[in-house]
Structure formats: structure tokens, C-alpha cells
Amino acid sequence: MESALFGVLGLAAGIVRYFHLSTGFEPADDPEIAGLAIPGNVYGMLITTVSVLVCVYLLLSYAVSRFGSDKAKGDLLVPGRINGKARAFLLASAITAFFGATLQMIDSFARFSVWGILTSGLLFGAGASAVVTARYMGQRARGENIGPPNVLLAVFWACAWLVDLYQSVSRKPTLLQYVFPVLGVITLVLVFYVSAGYVFARAKLPAVLCAMKALLFFGPMNIVGEGLYAWKEGILFTRAGLFSVVRPGVFLLYGVFFAIGILCLLRPNLVAASTDSQAEEPLAISAEEPQVEPDIKSEPEA
């Protein structure tokens, strides 16, 4: 339920991001100030405040689950076996990754970019391992000893895309123009990183959940905001829009589908629940025992 709220909040933030892109920056009429942020823009302040609050909330919730009093109880939720709903989202994630890799491959061959060809190959492998990663997470939750290296393909690809994206957007004149797309890719890296860490028993499920909630916020925010702005400017269906707006949106959508698929796998941890109930039974029995006062007999007077 909480993850769905983050998704809805991300969609709403995407609309705010659209108005921010439309009204928050100087137009290109004057080359000296083109692209600079307009001071006091309401949409810019709103989306920045909401993003900071979301990050603070997720960090605090992770800190509580990591160091709080519930740490000894273990994970209350664990990934189970792949069901129909999870399989649908994971297959959608794989198909989206294949489509994004195809776009990346076309653009890379057009620009003769070896780096782009390598990253598109990584994305093909990452998309193919989406269902496998979910299956391995369930096996890890059941205590099976596994360590497949193919779950790291998505991590390598996401890190490569982060480097590529930052090189292309860091030339923009103001931070507010590119910080939110960069945050979206960072959350994508975290999702794949902690998912692989969970498979290798190096990360706990609360870290996975926090990363996925962050992606469910920043992913739709960038997809909706950037897409609506490109559609309004009339560049969404052009070649520039296809590779600068549609392709990043497809990449983020790949991660969003993967996160939803993993969330559909979660089920109550019966082992932790039974452990808690067994620990509470002696306390309940001792609480029900009547308190017997000691029989103190007075000695007869001499």
C-alpha cells in the first residue's frame, strides 16, 4: 500500500515537473540567460521540497528498520515464488529493456559509438535476467545458497548509463534542469544494486524496499514530466525526442516494472512470525499466573 502511494505521488510530481520545465527557466530568446532558473518559481520550490521530504522519509524509515528495536525480529516480508502478477510485470520489464536496448543500439551505430554498443549489449543481458533475478531473490529468502553473476548485469548497465547521462546533462546551465533525471538514474542503480546484494546475502529487504519506493517516486516523475514537456514543445516524436526523451523514459520504465514485479512477490515471513509468537507465549503465560502472596505467620507472644 505504501509503495502504491509513492507511485501516485510520483505521478503527481511528474505533473509539477512539467509545469516547472514550462515556467521555471528563462526562454532561449536571450542567449546570455537562456536556461537559467527563474528565482521564486513556485513549481520549482514545490518539487524540490517534495523530493527532499521523500528522501528524508526513506532514509529515516531505513534507519529505523536497520537500527531500531525491530531489527532482531528479522524481515517481516520475504520474496516468495513468482506468481502470475509478478510474472506479468517482470516480462513487461524485460520487453521494455529490449526495446530500450534496440533504441540504444540504433543510436550507437548511427554515431559510431562503441560505448553505446557495449551498454546496449549490457541492457539486453539485464532485460533477459529480470525474471531470473526475481527467482533468485525468492530462493535466497528460502535459504538456498546461490550466487549467480548474471544478476550484476543490470547493475553494470545502470552505472554505465549514469555516467553517460551525467556527461550529457552536466553542461546545462542550472542544476534544477538535470538534478531530477540524475536522481531517477541513481535510484535505478540502487534498485538493481540492493536486489543483487539481497541475492548474494549482502543486503536486507528493508534496503530493497526503500530503493524501490524511491524509484517509484522519481521514475514516474521524470517519465511524466519530461514526456509532457517534450509533447508540448512538439519534439516528442522527432528523432531528437526519441533518443533524448523516449529512450531515458523507457530505461526508467524498465526499472519501474522490475520494482513492481518484485513487490508483487512479497509475502509474510512465517518464520519470523512464528518466532515472535513463540517468544510472546511465555510472557502471556506468566502474566496469567495468579500472584500468590506469601503466608507469613506471626510468632506467639512470649
Mean pLDDT of 252-259: 94
Comparing 243 with 95, the larger pLDDT belongs to 95
Position 36 scores a pLDDT of: 79
**Residue 299 scores a pLDDT above 80:** no
Position 218 scores a pLDDT of: 96
**Residue 71 scores a pLDDT above 70:** no
Position 244 scores a pLDDT of: 86
Amino acid at 168: S
**Residue 73 scores a pLDDT above 50:** no
Cell representation of residue 2:
505504501
Position 1 scores a pLDDT of: 66
**Residue 34 scores a pLDDT above 50:** yes
* CA 17 to chain CA mean position, Å: 19
pLDDT tens digits, 230-239: 999 888 888 8
Provide the 10 A C-beta neighbour count for residue 127: 23
Amino acid at 66: R
Amino acid at 8: V
**Residue 28 scores a pLDDT above 70:** no
- Parse the chain into domains and list their residue ranges: 1-18+90-269
Position 128 scores a pLDDT of: 85
Position 14 scores a pLDDT of: 95
Mean pLDDT of 91-99: 93
**Residue 68 confidence class, pLDDT cut points 50, 70, 90:** low
264 within 8 A of 99, measured Cβ to Cβ:
no
Nearest Cα residue to 217 out of 4, 40, 75, 48: 4
pLDDT tens digits, 265-291: 888 776 544 444 444 444 444 444 455
Stated pTM of the model: 0.83
Q: What is the DSSP letter of 75?
A: -
Q: What is the spatial distance between Cα 218 and Cα 159, in angstroms, rounded to a whole number?
A: 17
Q: What is the spatial distance between Cα 64 and Cα 46, in angstroms, rounded to a whole number?
A: 27
pLDDT tens digits, 198-226: 888 888 888 899 999 999 999 999 999 99
Supply the mean pLDDT for the chain: 82
pLDDT tens digits, 145-195: 666 777 888 999 999 999 888 888 777 768 888 899 999 999 999 999 999
Provide the 10 A C-beta neighbour count for residue 277: 10
Q: What is the spatial distance between Cα 177 and Cα 41, in angstroms, rounded to a whole number?
A: 13
End-to-end CA distance of the chain: give it in Å, rounded: 77
Beta bridge partners of 77: 268
Cell representation of residue 15:
505533473
Name the 3-class secondary structure at 295.
Answer: coil
